[in-house]
Amino acid sequence: MSSLTQKMETIRNDYFSTRGNAVISSVCIALLLWIGWTLVDWGLLNAKFSADEGIDGCRAVSGACWAVIDARARLIFFGLYPYEEHWRSALACLAIILVTVLSCIPCFWTTRRLAFLWLAGFATFYVLMRGGVLGMTEVLETEWGGLALTLFIFSAVCIVGMPMAIVFALLRRSQYTVIATTMALVIDGIRSLPLLSIMFTAALVLTFVLPDWLQGDKLYRVIFGYSLFFACYQAEIIRGGMQSLPAGQEEAAKALGLNYFQRISRIVLPQAFRNALPPTINQFVVTFKETSLVTIVGFFDVLASGNAAFSSGEWLTTYVEVYFFVALIYFSFVFSLSRYGAYLETRLRVGQH
């Protein structure tokens, strides 16, 4: 009971200490309550959830028309993927999410386990999505879409881009000036290009330049281009983390007889990543959101699928609800990412005073 009175006391002191403060606080609280109530009223109390009566069912209510989600959720999640095969796309999504969650758990943090995990994850995803084996009909990459595609592009870019970023950062720090300068030029060059132009190049220009056997599907070219872009930014983040290490750390490792790879993998990188954790999480968040750019080169990611969900036929007026729903999908992923980042920071702070 006393803690409650204490809390009340704190609130009074912090927000209602003078008449001016009291007025400002009251106005803000009123505003928040009004916004909250409007949202609940629109989104829950006066909303239509079932699509049984089509768009007509929504005309009868003043609130949100969630019926469009009920009717078009599959389109948003799976894009143009064949309707009767949606279960495969759903399972593939789950596989990627499961692998992501598992690789966030510290006991999987060895190179071998992470490599095995992601190899298994991508193999499962690919076999399920692409089919053509085990009695599953074949579905070409051009028909992949929705959330499944967004998750696939994001995780592939991170998994391919991160080792590249580490190599880039190490090369840029090379003691050989030629290597360091070349790498610096490459990194700065690619960073100065817009992601969009890189995706265009990967999707279209490369088809004229590369021999047929090297081209692969457009999807993989775009993922490679995006990974390169990701790696250049992440390399600079990692390099920043390395530079904040005192020189004594590498010297001590040398004095103990550790060779270059042991020094990098056991002493430098673990500490560099710890130092660079906040900007790294930030980079993941930006990468996740910018996957939506692939719609420009003809892919049907979750945002493009959302556009398609309301822009055909009777649901034309329900764009607010669709965007709200897509935003919620993005939010749940990005918010989990940043919460996980915060957890990691607390965990890693142990012992670093």
Q: How far is the CB of 182 from another protein (least distance, A)?
A: 24
The tally of CA atoms less than 13 A away on the side-chain side of residue 146 is: 22
Q: How far is the CB of 220 from another protein (least distance, A)?
A: 36
CA nearest to 76, candidates 68, 84, 65: 68
Q: What is the CA radius of gyration of the chain?
A: 25
Site string for another protein, 244-283 (x = CB under 8 A): --x-xx-xxxxxxxxx--x---xx--xx--x---------
- Type and span of the H or E element at 301: strand 300-301
d(CA 209, CA 207): 6
Question: Which CB atom, from 106 or from 246, has the smaller least distance to another protein?
Answer: 246
Question: Which CB atom, from 18 or from 175, has the smaller least distance to another protein?
Answer: 175
CA nearest to 86, candidates 179, 132, 141, 148: 148
Q: How far is the CB of 343 from another protein (least distance, A)?
A: 17
Q: How far is the CB of 324 from another protein (least distance, A)?
A: 43
Tokens, residue 300: 């049907």
Supply the DSSP symbol for 265: I
**32 binds another protein per the rule CB under 8 A:** no
- Is there a contact between 80 and 86 (Cβ–Cβ < 8 Å)? no
Question: Which CB atom, from 3 or from 259, has the smaller least distance to another protein?
Answer: 259
Site string for another protein, 36-75 (x = CB under 8 A): ----------------------------------------
Q: How far is the CB of 270 from another protein (least distance, A)?
A: 5
- Is there a contact between 148 and 124 (Cβ–Cβ < 8 Å)? no
Instruction: Give me the torsion for CA of 151, 153, 159, 161, rounded to 10°.
Output: -140
Question: Which CB atom, from 211 or from 248, has the smaller least distance to another protein?
Answer: 248
Site string for another protein, 319-348 (x = CB under 8 A): -----------------------------x
Tell me how far CA of residue 26 lies from CA of 6, 15, 18, 33, in angstroms: 20, 9, 12, 10
Tokens, residue 157: 């870019």
Question: Which CB atom, from 4 or from 247, has the smaller least distance to another protein?
Answer: 247
Q: How far is the CB of 111 from another protein (least distance, A)?
A: 15
Query: In the window 112-171, what residues touch another protein (CB under 8 A)?
Result: none
Question: Which CB atom, from 19 or from 347, has the smaller least distance to another protein?
Answer: 347
CA nearest to 309, candidates 65, 83, 79: 79
Site string for another protein, 196-235 (x = CB under 8 A): ----------------------------------------
Q: How far is the CB of 165 from another protein (least distance, A)?
A: 20
Q: How far is the CB of 353 from another protein (least distance, A)?
A: 4
Residue with tokens 């607010």: 320
Opening angle at CA 165, ends 162 and 169, nearest 5: 145
- Name the amino acid, one letter, at 241: G
Q: How far is the CB of 202 from another protein (least distance, A)?
A: 37
CA nearest to 47, candidates 31, 74, 32, 68: 68
Question: Which CB atom, from 157 or from 272, has the smaller least distance to another protein?
Answer: 272
- Site size toward another protein (CB under 8 A) is 23
Residues that bind another protein (CB under 8 A): 246, 248-249, 251-259, 262, 266-267, 270-271, 274, 348, 350-353
